[in-house]
Structure 1
Amino acid sequence: MRILLTGIPSYLQRTVASASGATVRHRPYFDDIRSKKDVIDQVKKIANTGNYLIGEGAGQALKGHDVTYVPFWHLANSLSQPGAYDELSQAFDICVFASANLLRPGYSADLEAQVFEKLKMPVVVMGIGIQKKANLRDELPAGTQKFLDVLRAKESYFLTRGYFTSEFLKEQGMKFVRPTGCPSLYFNPDGMRQALTKLANPELVESQKIAFGGYLGSVADTIVDAHVLLKPDSTAHYVIQDEVVVYNMNIQGDDATPAYDAPSGRIVAPLEYKHQEKWQRKNDLHVFFDTNRWRTWASQLDLSFGRRFHGCIITMQAGVPSLMIAVDDRMREMLEFIGFPHLEAGIWNREAQKKAYLKEFLSTIDAQASIDRYNACEINFRTALNDIGIQQPGFPQPAKPAAPQPAARAHEPA
């Protein structure tokens, strides 16, 4: 099958040099990232480095087919070019659109509506989710409603991040809707299963090689987390995803200031952000623009403990146990679907004896049940793609299983 893959990209979009019609030209190298401006520009291009995992997972799921990643900006720029969409329609059989928090009050999908109205081929929307449940039905922007109207009127398929999004889309009249989870979950299944096995270990609370993720520059929660787990002479390793463009984390100096050490993935320029003075541990802040390098770095750790979904998923892909703290509707929907053990932020933040609580929580994890759940979700994902016609080479073709039912919610005190 000839597949046009677009939407959220993998890190390989950094090599795209140009696009014309159905042809995309790549450079054989990445741009250097050294200065403050380089770092900020690269984060802005992807909006959040965790998004790289979505595009990477979508691309991996299409392995074995003739796949071309066509940047969405090229599709948008081609709207007014005569014959451009005819060329695309002749070159491809189906379009896969890698998505994330598209359904939200603050974003109007006007361009997406125009592109898919003009694209004369079936469309698979993979990984679509809702950012915030409250009032979405009343506050859905007109452009996003148009996007849904366009896809309702043509051959379209929705693979959602969870159950709530699926129910919402069914209410909107969409015919093929399957909750499958984020495509990043299935990038390296063996690593994911290994990470789940290792998580059921109360001794992880004594680990000192830990990756943290959260919202530095906005709240001090992650600093508290690090102080709970790390000894005074340990170093907190924090992974930035979008803080330098969204959460007022300021890299000091002018645009040309040396700010990034590529081999280690470390920010080397001084930083300024809210609550910074509360640190009582040494801390290194990292950012990665290459998921392979990110996983290699993560593979040296003992644990990932954080409030960012994809910051923990990439560590699991490397076979390292990760425990997420669910902070919003996005995370809750994804975690409810996949059934990974996790903590609820409101409960964890209020807990007075955090370390003892965490040790008890880890001791109660049923690793095999988590793995069984994960395996069922992967079969569900692969089967959905098979049903669409995107065959999964090397994957067993079982009888269609029932979609996994909602997993138990986060650990809560009796």
Structure 2
Amino acid sequence: MNIFLLGATPSISAEPGEDPTSKLTKTGGNTGNQMIAHGLLSQIDYQNIAWDYRIDPKEVRERFDMIVIAAANFLFPKFDFGGMADYIERADLPVAIVGLGAQSNNYDPNIELMPGTERFVKVIAERAASIGVRGPYTLDVLARRGVHNVTVTGCPSYYMSGAKGPVIANRPMEGFKRISINASRDVIGHSFDKDKMRRIVLEIYKAGIAWNADFIAQSELAEIRIADREPGTGVEESLNAICTFLKDVVPDDDARAWASSHVKVFFDVDEWLKTIEEYDFVFGSRFHGCMVALQRGVPAVVVCHDTRTEDMCRFLAIPYVTIMDLERVDVNALHAIVDRDALTRRYRELYPAYVEFLKSNRLKPKS
């Protein structure tokens, strides 16, 4: 099986000293996207793979057997996937797509999509045996458009541990040495409640600073510039931006000292997976920032702020709390949410079904 990959990619090629903005662009604007593709490819067998979009679609049709799409929150009113729809039509190959998600600040399935994305939905529905979606909400969004060849799978990053699944450590908080947090100041506008989301994000940062935690950035450009530590990339301006954001909750000197030494970013998935093992607990509003921890047995809790995160966490039994039910960030209370047994039970239910889903889409699961 020769696969041409669209959507998220498992890795990027970066030059020494390359500007962090350029590297972030190569990930699709979020380092967590690489977790999606990494998880998908980790569970399927293939002979050859490519994801160079400069290859002419006609050549793709000649060289590859099918198009596989590692999808994310594509069904969002501001996204236009008309270009991908064109590419797929011109290549004219069977399609397998996993992880397609609808993103909204409520669960009304009548979300408005751009014409190009509407056409993308039609194109993949015609070519895929079944569209793998992130949660029941996305299934409803597609059903309203007359698309019913759909299977709820969650995100493919959930399955990267294979048949055995993740084994979450039982770590009492008294022995905690290192905590990692994640949050985003750039998604406040499309959360369930903008004012509450801003307050909770501030609380996450505040708790992280109090616990001397590391912050692992994914799309937050100011934090990424600080973490990348390349000269001439706007580090001082980025520190000022973080201090300004935190000015009402953390003294300027404390915020600056913490950000200078505790903000990290990973443009390599394997390095991220290896480093996360050093932590005792992870929490924050980034689904993949928490998923990478769970995959390495580290307890983690997602602070859900919109449908794309909450819908997946509910379906997959990922430990989570919604911003609508959270008044303040208490690290001890968050840790108490982690239910290792529930996660294990759900994984044992879902993994065999995921294997059958891959087979139904002509993908060969790894043994």
TM-score, normalised by the number of residues in structure 1: 0.74
2:195 corresponds to which residue?
A: none
SS at match of 1:238: strand
**Structure with the largest fraction of helix:** 2
How far, CA to CA, are the matches of 2:76 and 2:16 in structure 1?
A: 34
Q: CA deviation at 1:211?
A: 0.5
The code of the aligned residue for 1:89 comes to R
1:243 corresponds to which residue?
A: 220
Question: Pairwise mapping of residues 9-408 of structure 1 onto structure 2 (< 5 A)?
Answer: 9-11=9-11, 13-14=12-13, 30-33=14-17, 38-46=19-27, 47-62=29-44, 64-71=45-52, 73-74=53-54, 78=56, 84-85=57-58, 87-132=59-104, 133=106, 137=110, 139-189=112-162, 193-195=166-168, 197-198=169-170, 203-204=172-173, 207-216=176-185, 219=198, 221-225=200-204, 227-228=206-207, 234-244=211-221, 251=225, 257=231, 271-273=239-241, 274-277=244-247, 278-279=249-250, 282-283=258-259, 284-348=262-326, 350-351=327-328, 354=330, 357-358=333-334, 361-362=337-338, 365=339, 367-394=340-367
C-alpha contact 1:251 1:272 (8 A) present in aligned 2: no
How far, CA to CA, are the matches of 2:291 and 2:78 in structure 1?
A: 26
SS at match of 1:235: coil
C-alpha contact 1:123 1:157 (8 A) present in aligned 2: no
Q: Please list the CA deviations of residues 228-279 of structure 1 after superposition, one character each: whole Å capped at 9, or x if unmatched.
A: 477x5x52210111111xxx66958xx972569xxxxxx8996222423333
- List runs of 5+ in structure 2 lacking aligned partners: 189-197
SS at match of 1:272: helix
Q: CA deviation at 1:53?
A: 0.3
2:3 corresponds to which residue?
A: 3
Q: CA deviation at 1:192?
A: 5.3
Q: CA deviation at 1:156?
A: 4.6
- List runs of 5+ in structure 1 lacking aligned partners: 15-29, 79-83, 261-266, 395-414
How far, CA to CA, are the matches of 1:33 and 1:269 in structure 2?
A: 19
TM-score, normalised by the number of residues in structure 2: 0.83
Which shifted more, 307-316 or 113-122?
A: 113-122
Q: Please list the CA deviations of residues 312-364 of structure 1 after superposition, one character each: whole Å capped at 9, or x if unmatched.
A: 1111222211111111111011101101221122222x159x356446545xx
Q: Please list the CA deviations of residues 88-126 of structure 1 after superposition, one character each: whole Å capped at 9, or x if unmatched.
A: 223222111111111111112110121121122111111
Matched pairs, number? 343
C-alpha contact 1:189 1:317 (8 A) present in aligned 2: no
Going from structure 1 to structure 2, the CA distance change for 1:359 and 1:172 (only over 3 Å counts) comes to closer
How far, CA to CA, are the matches of 2:293 and 2:237 in structure 1?
A: 25
Q: Please list the CA deviations of residues 201-228 of structure 1 after superposition, one character each: whole Å capped at 9, or x if unmatched.
A: 6x33773410100024764534523544
How far, CA to CA, are the matches of 1:59 and 1:359 in structure 2?
A: 31
SS at match of 1:194: coil
C-alpha contact 2:301 2:334 (8 A) present in aligned 1: no
Going from structure 1 to structure 2, the CA distance change for 1:177 and 1:112 (only over 3 Å counts) comes to same
2:193 corresponds to which residue?
A: none
SS at match of 1:271: helix
C-alpha contact 2:283 2:300 (8 A) present in aligned 1: yes
C-alpha contact 1:212 1:222 (8 A) present in aligned 2: no
Q: CA deviation at 1:381?
A: 1.1
How far, CA to CA, are the matches of 2:76 and 2:103 in structure 1?
A: 5
Q: CA deviation at 1:66?
A: 1.6
Going from structure 1 to structure 2, the CA distance change for 1:93 and 1:326 (only over 3 Å counts) comes to same
Q: Please list the CA deviations of residues 167-209 of structure 1 after superposition, one character each: whole Å capped at 9, or x if unmatched.
A: 32234333531111101111124895222x53xx6x3377341
**Greater Cα radius of gyration, structure 1 or 2:** 1
The code of the aligned residue for 2:345 comes to D
C-alpha contact 1:181 1:338 (8 A) present in aligned 2: yes
C-alpha contact 2:109 2:140 (8 A) present in aligned 1: no
SS at match of 2:157: helix
Going from structure 1 to structure 2, the CA distance change for 1:92 and 1:374 (only over 3 Å counts) comes to same
How far, CA to CA, are the matches of 2:363 and 2:305 in structure 1?
A: 34
RMSD over aligned CA atoms reads 3.0
Going from structure 1 to structure 2, the CA distance change for 1:290 and 1:161 (only over 3 Å counts) comes to same
Going from structure 1 to structure 2, the CA distance change for 1:269 and 1:60 (only over 3 Å counts) comes to farther
